[in-house]
Amino acid sequence: MLGWRNRVIGSQRFQKWAAATPFVRSIARRRAAQLFDLVAGFSYSQVLLAVVESGCVQRLAQGPATTLELTEIAVLSEDACVRLMRAASALGIAQELGPKGKAACWMLGRHGAALHGNAGALAMIRHHRLLYADLADPLALLRADRAEPTGLQRFWTYAGQGGDALEGGSADPYSQLMSASQAAVSHEILAAYDFARHDSLLDVGGGHGAFLTAVGAVAPRLRLGLFDLPEVVAGVPESLDAERHPGSFLTDDIPSGYDCISLVRILHDHDDGPALHILKNIRAALAPGKTLLIGEPLAETPGAEAMGGAYFGMYLWAMGSGRPRSAQEIRAMLADAGFSGSRRVPTRQPLIASVIVAHA
């Protein structure tokens, strides 16, 4: 049946019939637009990068601006600026007002309005320059089979070196990116799970404490702890009211004495062997009946399949470690690690983060 479907859809005769037939025509147009988006997607992402890095989105967040003003901000000629802003307008990032072209006035479009207040999204857009460079020759990247260094691997040095080493001894670049992009993930997890039911929480791989800060705001009586590499823990703000535990979850024991441990955006960064080791390490630190919460985007999420398979699949390959996993795969790993049971907790935006809760 699938072969028959593909032969029909691939037939030029069928395509012409669908484009000319009422009722079917709208479906054909939508499918054609989706296919073109696949072909042109890189151009769209580059327009997004340019309009953010030029400062135009940040300026339009303050209110409408003229073409002349944007040319000065972006350091572009008027023709180049109009070309960029019309491209951004076509993607819903900007909107053209009044006279057309060089005399136009611009404001944020619907996507731009949602984007400008999202510090995490803006940080990831800038960060994606590394991913775009690594994907310039995707077949070469795949054929190298993770044996050749990449830009993302150099950035996420801990992943390329087994979690125990950091280039130049500095964890700041990736810790800052993780903190900036954590707000939306934290919001999804906190909307789905009530941490106030616990007495204590240890965030494993917690970076500079962005997730713990969010948890502490809604559960102020919770005793908090953070476990991460020594270089990372050294950068945790003094304002964070949490116990600091320096160490590696791949080589050191996880601190015990907490009745809940969180693992936020950690598992998908690691291949199956290290990921299972992390889960076993956490299981050893938890008393029977205590809780592990996993929060991260999952593969095979209905409505977000492209995010899991295409985006994270290629991103993590370029990073040199990890893969997106489905809820079923993670739950199977939890069973192998010795957890007595697990369940998936629904979140409002599973594209951003899904939650799995397991019990020791």
**Is the pLDDT assigned to residue 6 strictly greater than 60?**
yes
Q: What Cα–Cα distance (Å) separates residue 22 from each residue in 17, 26, 36, 159, 251?
A: 10, 8, 22, 53, 64
**Is the pLDDT assigned to residue 177 strictly greater than 90?**
no
Mean pLDDT for the stretch of residues 281-306:
94
pTM: 0.82
Mean pLDDT for the stretch of residues 30-57:
89
- The DSSP annotation for 88-132 comes to HHHTTSEEEESSSGGG-EEEE-HHHHHHHT-HHHHHHHHHHHHHH
At residue 137, the pLDDT reads 95
**Is the pLDDT assigned to residue 166 strictly greater than 70?**
no
**Is the pLDDT assigned to residue 170 strictly greater than 50?**
no
At residue 32, the pLDDT reads 79
**Is the pLDDT assigned to residue 48 strictly greater than 80?**
yes
Q: Name the residue with higher pLDDT: 171 or 101.
A: 101
Percentage of the chain exceeding pLDDT 70: 92
pLDDT tens, residue by residue, 298-338:
999 888 888 889 999 999 999 999 999 999 999 999 999 99
Q: Name the residue with higher pLDDT: 286 or 38.
A: 286
Q: What is the DSSP letter of 167?
A: G
Is there a contact between 140 and 173 (Cβ–Cβ < 8 Å)? no
At residue 55, the pLDDT reads 95
**Is the pLDDT assigned to residue 179 strictly greater than 80?**
no
At residue 223, the pLDDT reads 97
Mean pLDDT for the stretch of residues 129-154:
93
Q: Residue 338 corresponds to which tokens in the numbers above?
A: 């010795």
Considering only 90-94, 150-154, 340-344, which range has the smallest mean pLDDT?
150-154
pLDDT-derived band at 19 (thresholds 50, 70, 90) equals: confident
- Residue 155 has a CB neighbour count (10 Å cut-off) of 17
At residue 4, the pLDDT reads 74
pLDDT tens, residue by residue, 213-236:
999 999 999 999 999 999 999 999
- Residue 208 has a CB neighbour count (10 Å cut-off) of 22
What is the rounded distance in angstroms from the CA atom of residue 98 to the CA atom of residue 106? 9
At residue 99, the pLDDT reads 80
What is the rounded distance in angstroms from the CA atom of residue 263 to the CA atom of residue 279? 9
**Is the pLDDT assigned to residue 152 strictly greater than 50?**
yes
Q: What are the residues whose beta carbons fall under 8 Å from the beta carbon of 230, sequence distance 6 or more?
A: 246, 247
Mean pLDDT for the chain?
89
Q: What Cα–Cα distance (Å) separates residue 278 from each residue in 189, 254, 256, 329, 334?
A: 21, 9, 14, 15, 10
How far, in whole angstroms, is CA 173 from its chain's centroid? 16
Considering only 29-33, 44-48, 60-64, 345-349, which range has the smallest mean pLDDT?
29-33
Which candidate, 305, 286, 289, 285, places its Cα nearest to that of 297? 305
pLDDT-derived band at 79 (thresholds 50, 70, 90) equals: very high
Q: Name the residue with higher pLDDT: 257 or 123.
A: 257
Mean pLDDT for the stretch of residues 334-360:
95
**Is the pLDDT assigned to residue 252 strictly greater than 90?**
yes
Q: Which of 3-12, 39-48, 98-107, 276-285 has the highest mean pLDDT?
A: 276-285
What is the rounded distance in angstroms from the CA atom of residue 115 to the CA atom of residue 137? 29
At residue 218, the pLDDT reads 96
Give the CB-side neighbour count of residue 117, counting CA atoms within 13 A.
Answer: 6
Domains defined along the chain, listed by start: 2-116 (1.10.10.10), 124-359 (3.40.50.150)
